[in-house]
């Protein structure tokens, strides 16, 4: 490991990595559950994180460093004009609900009304173009923005047809380059899932680094000299960073970590569950569901939701600042123990789902802001993965181990009794499409059919639906999504094989509805 970087007075480095992803929301899906997922993430996570990073950059520009992956489907949504035009009315609906509350509840939710308006003002000031905000921070080096697989496909279950994996990765790279005007060097593997040989596909696509769960590094061959505290490099030339569980547990765990503190906002008590259905329906919301309107605190995890006390924002912010200091102090002590010699400066890699910060843990962005602003006090150099590799450290050559960061550490969460039926369905579709792509396209209509079939195949491969089926939440929605995209895929395949029977109305409708990846290239699926 190169001893010139970071400076000698620094104990080591900390790389916080955030993974931001949401599944594709089809056109005209207004007032849907999927639209709520997106808008709540924009309001509670993406805007607050941008504000925190920008605020820290003003005070501590050299140590304001984060890595963030923005999945291609999420970028397509943030770049969608219809969504940008719909967000204001979504905000107004929630403001209306809060302003119509009885006086006691309205006073308790005053902080929420203020925050709604504050985040909407930020949105208005950038004309809804959050991507440009991320781009500025990427260009300044404060952010290292990674790509992800195109539709967050779980790559190990696609390995029977390597071309389908190439389709996922190369579509993502092309989408990222189209938006950010630069090719990504790093990728977030969906669910940090890795299998032997994937590094060769990554390298050939131009990817040079990614992140695995800790055991993906620790079980490498040979066993890494520095464990997860330094990246390794595969024989194919891809660097792998390993998750440090000690750096993530205090944030991941609601029971053992910070997010479960009694002064923080209670996630499960939402006004959407408490308002009469008739009132929701007047605003175009057809079913009871969370609205993102929460103004009670955890209070005590053992009491019922009905007994939760009102949330006090200043109390929670003070606690988040305390927790940020406690986190930095613990990392400082950890780095001090790990510093084996003056020539070794350990690196702690702490990856999280971005939506944890703000959506699941409402105070999360404020916690991040305090980490960014105060890390210097604890002799910790914040870095991002690209910046670390630019220093040209000497990396040990190892073959990483198959792994994931899902429950059980491997692939069983995506191959089990609840969702294993998906695997043969998408495998068959992938094989058929790869074989079809061997043909030459003889006209623009053929290419149009192939392009849309590729989109439907990618959308059917999304790991979100497998995850939902295993978790047992909105399972009907997940099943419907998979079956819809596969039905459309096979209908398009039928048209490709039988040019005399083209249903142009069907083609036009799904082109409009599943309008994603405009620069899709069928060559990505060719052997």
Which residues does the annotation place in the binding site for substrate? 243, 260, 405, 464
Residue 226 CB-half CA count within 13 A:
25
Q: Is 399 in the active site?
A: no
Q: From the candidates 191, 266, 461, 514, give the one annotated as an active-site residue.
A: 191
Give me the DSSP letters along 215-262.
HHHHT-BSPPTTGGGS-EE-TTS-EEEE--HHHHHHHH-TTTSGGG-T
Q: Do 218 and 241 form a contact (C-beta atoms < 8 A)?
A: no
Pairing of strands 232-233, 239-242: antiparallel
The torsion angles phi and psi of 346, rounded to 5 degrees, stand at -65, 150
d(CA 127, CA 10): 40
Q: Do 373 and 325 form a contact (C-beta atoms < 8 A)?
A: no
Residue numbering of the annotated binding site? 243, 260, 405, 464
Residue 356 DSSP symbol: G
Residue 252 DSSP symbol: H
d(CA 292, CA 276): 16
Distance between the two ends of the chain, CA-based, in angstroms? Answer: 39
Q: Is 199 in the active site?
A: no
Pairing of strands 347-353, 12-20: parallel
d(CA 339, CA 347): 10
d(CA 182, CA 278): 49
Which residues 6+ apart lie within 8 Å of 394 measured at CB? 1, 2
Residues marked active site are found at 191, 353
């Amino acid at each position: 490991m190169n001893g010139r970087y970071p400076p000698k007075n620094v104990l080591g480095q900390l790389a916080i990595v955030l993974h931001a992803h949401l599944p594709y929301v089809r056109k005209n899906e207004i007032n849907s559950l999927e639209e709520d997922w997106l808008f709540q993430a924009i309001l509670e996570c993406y805007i607050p994180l941008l504000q925190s990073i920008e605020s820290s950059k003003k005070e501590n520009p050299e140590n304001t460093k984060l890595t963030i992956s923005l999945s291609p489907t999420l970028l397509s949504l943030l770049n969608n004009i219809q969504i940008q035009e719909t967000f204001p009315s979504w905000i107004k609906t929630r403001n209306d609900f809060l302003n119509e509350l009885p006086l006691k509840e309205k006073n308790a939710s005053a902080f929420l009304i203020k925050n709604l308006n504050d985040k909407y003002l930020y949105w208005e000031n950038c004309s809804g173009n959050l991507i440009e905000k991320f781009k500025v921070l990427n260009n300044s080096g404060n952010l290292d923005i990674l790509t992800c697989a195109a539709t967050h496909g779980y790559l190990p279950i696609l390995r029977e047809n390597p071309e389908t994996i190439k389709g996922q990765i190369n579509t993502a790279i092309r989408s990222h380059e189209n938006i950010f005007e630069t090719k990504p060097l790093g990728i977030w593997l969906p669910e940090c899932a890795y299998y032997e040989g994937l590094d060769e596909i990554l390298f050939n696509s131009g990817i040079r680094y990614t992140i695995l769960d800790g055991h993906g590094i620790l079980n490498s061959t040979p066993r890494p000299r520095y464990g997860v505290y330094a990246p390794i490099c595969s024989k194919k030339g891809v660097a792998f960073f390993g998750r440090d569980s000690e750096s993530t547990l205090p944030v991941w765990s609601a029971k053992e970590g910070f997010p479960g503190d009694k002064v923080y906002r209670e996630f499960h008590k939402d006004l959407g569950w408490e308002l009469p259905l008739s009132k929701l329906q007047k605003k175009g919301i057809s079913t009871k569901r969370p609205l993102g309107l929460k103004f009670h605190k955890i209070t005590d995890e053992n009491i019922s939701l009905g007994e939760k006390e009102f949330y006090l924002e200043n109390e929670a912010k003070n606690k988040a600042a305390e927790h940020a200091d406690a986190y930095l102090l613990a990392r400082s002590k950890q780095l001090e123990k790990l510093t084996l010699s003056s020539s070794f400066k350990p690196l702690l890699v702490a990856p999280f789902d971005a939506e944890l910060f703000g959506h699941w843990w409402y105070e999360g962005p404020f916690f991040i802001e305090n980490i960014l602003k105060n890390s210097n006090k604890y002799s910790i150099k914040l870095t991002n993965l690209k910046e670390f590799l630019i220093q040209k450290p000497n990396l040990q050559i190892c073959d990483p181990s198959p792994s994931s960061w899902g429950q059980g550490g491997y692939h069983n969460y995506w191959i089990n009794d609840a969702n294993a039926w998906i695997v043969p369905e998408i495998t068959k579709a992938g094989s058929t499409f790869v074989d079809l792509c061997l043909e030459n396209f003889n006209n623009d209509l053929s290419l149009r059919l192939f392009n849309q079939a590729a989109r439907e195949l990618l959308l059917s491969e999304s790991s979100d639906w497998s995850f939902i089926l295993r978790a047992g939440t909105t399972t009907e929605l997940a099943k419907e999504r998979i079956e819809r995209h596969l039905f459309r895929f096979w209908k398009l395949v039928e048209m490709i094989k039988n040019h005399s029977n083209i249903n142009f109305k069907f083609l036009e409708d799904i082109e409009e509805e599943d309008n994603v990846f405009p620069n899709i290239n069928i060559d990505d699926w060719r052997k």
